[in-house]
Structure 1
Amino acid sequence: MSWRKLSACAHLGALDMGEWIHAYIRKKNFRVDVILGNALIDVYCKCGEAAFDVFHGLAVKNIFCWNSIIVGLGMNGYGEEAIDIFISMEKKNIKPDGVTFDGHLSGCSHSGLVSAGRRYFS
Structure 2
Amino acid sequence: MEITNAIASFAALSQDTRLKAFKLLVSHEPEGLPAGEIARQLAVPHNTMSAHLSVLARAGWVVSQRHSRQIIYRASLLHMDNVIQFLLQDCCAGHPKLCASLMDSLSDCRVNESAEQSND
Higher relative contact order (CA 8 A, sep 6+): 2
Does TM, scored on the shorter chain, surpass 0.5?
no
Greater percentage in strand: 2
Structure of higher CA gyration radius: 2
The two structures have a TM-score, normalised by structure 1, of 0.31
